Amino acid sequence: MLRGIVVFLACAVFAPLGHAEPGLEEILARMRRAEAVREAVIREMAYTAEARVVEWTDSTRTEIEQETVSLRRVYTRQPDLIHNEYLSMTVDGRPLSEAEMERELAKQRRGGGRGQGSGGGFVSPFSSEAAGLYRFTLLGETGYEGQAVWRIAFSPTEPDQSRMDGTALVSQTDYQPLLVEMTPSELPGVLKELSMRIRFAPVEGYWLPAHFVMDMRLRVSVIVTLADRTLTIEDRYSGYRLNPGLEDSLFAAGKRR
Half-sphere exposure of 126 (CA within 13 A, CB side): 33
Global pTM? 0.81
pLDDT tens-digit series, residues 221-251: 555 455 788 999 999 999 999 999 999 999 9
pLDDT band of residue 200 (cuts 50, 70, 90) is very high
**Which range is least confidently modeled, 12-16, 87-91, 137-141?**
12-16
Whole-angstrom distance, CA of residue 26 vs CA of residue 17: 10
Residue 74 confidence (pLDDT) above 60: yes
- Each domain of the chain, given as residue ranges in start order, spans 2-239
The answer to whether 84 and 74 are in contact (CB under 8 A) is: yes
Mean pLDDT of the chain: 84
